[in-house]
Structure 1
Amino acid sequence: MSLTAAAWPVDYSVVVPVFQGQDTLRLLVEHLQAFFVEGGYSYEVVFVHDGGQAAAWEVIVQLRQELGSAKVKAIRLSRNFGQHNALLCGFHHANGRFIVTLDEDLQHSPADIGRLIERQAEGNFDVVYGCYAARQHASWRNFTSALLRQMLRVGIPELHPDYSAFRLLKTPIARHCLAMRNSYTFLDGYLTWVTNNVTSVPVTHQARLSGPSTYTVSRLVRHSINIFVTFSELPVRLLSYASLLVFTLTTVYSVYILLRKLLYNDLLPGFASLIIAIGFGVGLLLLGMGILGEYIHRINLKTTRRPDYIEAETLE
């Protein structure tokens, strides 16, 4: 059921997935308070503790006690389900007309939420991404992130080129993502299926205030592979095209060998039958693999029904 603008309990729900933010959460909340109070907006903060440091959960509980249940919701997941699954959990508990997602480490400046709000109002957009002129990550991560983005532009052309973890979404749009069940959760991939009314606005990207990033090279590689296997048709489509090409070439060559054998009979004994058997057989085998890959791709999109997250403790 949709709600009118006046029927939403608050204007904005800020959903923050938490893993090791015990050193930055309190400062993050102070910055959020300063922005929303000064702007005259009602808001709530939804913290989703994604199986990380116990100290971070203790800070979340303290903030809830200090600010009250109307301002802070706290959900602790049973284990680490990943950032995007944690965001889906936050969407389920959000009561704002709009949802803002940002990281725990203050690399996304709460003051820049105003830019997202202004951009959304300009065109009544469903999703607004904050894009960065310069990213304050380590050089290896900047390189791998840039490489992944180039790959995704080819593999998932519908994906907005400026996608980021700093987003403003209409809550009904975010709720549509809750009904999706894939073998891997990629929130921005979900959003490409829900709407194309998407834009972006430049924001600042600040250096981490505490601790190293939890994203390692191996995690980024796994993340990239999972996105391609789940959301992109490019790998299986390349296999299908390659299989069809090899099948066509081997079939043409086999026909050529057969005709030459029948017309000129200048080939070594057994050569024609060997080439036809190997060439046509390999081509047919690869074509079958391509067709099978197409079916497996569709089965993968439809059959996975495991939960995206499990809540161990909910305070709201």
Structure 2
Amino acid sequence: MSSQEDKYSVLLPTYNERENLPLIIWLLVKYFEQDKINFEVIVIDDNSPDGTLDVAKQLQEVYGKDRIVLRPREAKLGLGTAYIHGMKHSTGNFILLMDADLSHHPKFIAEFIQKQREGDYDIVSGTRYAGDGGVYGWDLRRKVISRGANYVAQILLRPGASDLTGSFRLYRKDVLRKLMDVCVSKGYVFQMEMIVRARQLSYSVGEVPISFVDRVYGESKLGGNEIVSYLKGLLTLFATT
């Protein structure tokens, strides 16, 4: 299945994920190795007080430094900058962005890779809102907010993708680098802007239906102020695209 020259760098920003990290890493290694795919996992820990980095160091000893790369930072500096930081240290020609909290299952990665190869896509995005994709473990409020956010964004931005706020994606590295250069959003809006800018720059986007499972351990990071900043960001994007 794997073409020899392709290498996939998984960027895993972490903050207080010590319970989740061993399992997500184990799953990543399992699925990459069974499909004989060349990979590395870059853990970008933002100085988690719960000892996530210590766990990551133990995992590095188990799986090897060529597979588990640690690129910690001094403080909690946000998702966008975590990706930029991780990308600088990546050696793959493809970059996978996903959450470390087990809401994104590594089993879908093979489908991302297959889809990318079939259509020669610049980006493959996991979608909860097409095909047999879905969301599990969310209460009605979260579902309504997420659906509503996507619906409003679809109308305003017409992005040509069904899931704008998802963060499980495969990018060509050079494409991701270019998008990072033009992206101005932080936080929740960041994922959405990446797809909108991709369309502006005529990059091709493929989609793979995924099931999203709400985090098992730890606190969800979506609160009222995220919703406000999402709406602000949406209007900014609408005004500038």
Under a length normalisation based on structure 1, what TM-score does the superposition of the two structures give? 0.66
Inter-partner Cα distance in structure 2 for 1:56 and 1:227: 33
Inter-CA distance 87–62: structure 2 relative to 1 (3 Å threshold): same
Equivalent AA in structure 1 for residue 174 of structure 2: P
Inter-partner Cα distance in structure 2 for 1:174 and 1:183: 15
Inter-partner Cα distance in structure 2 for 1:191 and 1:211: 28
Q: Is the 8 A contact 1:15 1:48 kept in 2?
A: yes
Structure 1 spans left out of the alignment, 5+ residues:
234-296, 299-316
Query: Per-residue deviation at 1:83?
Result: 2.2
Structure 2 spans left out of the alignment, 5+ residues:
none
Aligned counterpart for 1:226 among listed residues 227, 233, 241: 233
Query: Per-residue deviation at 1:187?
Result: 4.1
Query: Per-residue deviation at 1:72?
Result: 1.4
In the alignment, is residue 48 of structure 1 matched against residue 44 of structure 2? yes
| Stretch of structure 1 that moved more, 73-82 or 98-107 | 73-82
Equivalent AA in structure 1 for residue 150 of structure 2: R
Q: Report what 1:215 is aligned to.
A: 222
Inter-partner Cα distance in structure 2 for 1:29 and 1:92: 21
Inter-partner Cα distance in structure 2 for 1:46 and 1:30: 14
- In the TM superposition, what whole-angstrom CA distance separates every residue of 1:183-237 from its partner, at most 9, and x where no partner exists? 64724413432443002011222242212312112223223323432x221xxxx
SS at match of 2:135: coil
Count residues with an aligned counterpart: 228
Inter-partner Cα distance in structure 2 for 1:206 and 1:45: 21
In the alignment, is residue 75 of structure 1 matched against residue 71 of structure 2? yes
SS at match of 1:129: strand
SS at match of 2:9: strand
Inter-partner Cα distance in structure 1 for 2:49 and 2:179: 27
SS at match of 1:22: coil
Q: Is the 8 A contact 1:88 1:177 kept in 2?
A: no
Inter-CA distance 157–54: structure 2 relative to 1 (3 Å threshold): same
Inter-partner Cα distance in structure 2 for 1:34 and 1:192: 33
Inter-CA distance 77–223: structure 2 relative to 1 (3 Å threshold): farther
Query: Per-residue deviation at 1:74?
Result: 1.6
Q: Report what 2:182 is aligned to.
A: 180
* Bigger helix fraction: 1
- In the TM superposition, what whole-angstrom CA distance separates every residue of 1:252-293 from its partner, at most 9, and x where no partner exists? xxxxxxxxxxxxxxxxxxxxxxxxxxxxxxxxxxxxxxxxxx
In the alignment, is residue 92 of structure 1 matched against residue 91 of structure 2? no
Q: Is the 8 A contact 2:116 2:123 kept in 1?
A: yes
Equivalent AA in structure 2 for residue 11 of structure 1: K
Inter-partner Cα distance in structure 2 for 1:166 and 1:213: 16
Query: Per-residue deviation at 1:27?
Result: 0.7
Q: Report what 1:200 is aligned to.
A: 207
RMSD value, Cα: 2.3
Q: Report what 1:190 is aligned to.
A: 194
In the alignment, is residue 135 of structure 1 matched against residue 131 of structure 2? no
Inter-partner Cα distance in structure 1 for 2:185 and 2:122: 25
Inter-partner Cα distance in structure 2 for 1:24 and 1:56: 9
| Stretch of structure 1 that moved more, 122-131 or 45-54 | 45-54
SS at match of 2:99: coil
Equivalent AA in structure 2 for residue 33 of structure 1: V
Inter-CA distance 100–42: structure 2 relative to 1 (3 Å threshold): same
Q: Is the 8 A contact 1:51 1:81 kept in 2?
A: no
Inter-partner Cα distance in structure 2 for 1:198 and 1:66: 36
Aligned counterpart for 2:55 among listed residues 49, 59, 62: 59
Equivalent AA in structure 2 for residue 208 of structure 1: R
Inter-partner Cα distance in structure 2 for 1:93 and 1:195: 27
Equivalent AA in structure 2 for residue 175 of structure 1: R
| Stretch of structure 1 that moved more, 198-207 or 155-164 | 155-164
Q: Report what 1:246 is aligned to.
A: none
Inter-partner Cα distance in structure 2 for 1:209 and 1:11: 30
Q: Report what 2:150 is aligned to.
A: 149
The structure with more radius of gyration: 1
Q: Is the 8 A contact 1:128 1:201 kept in 2?
A: yes
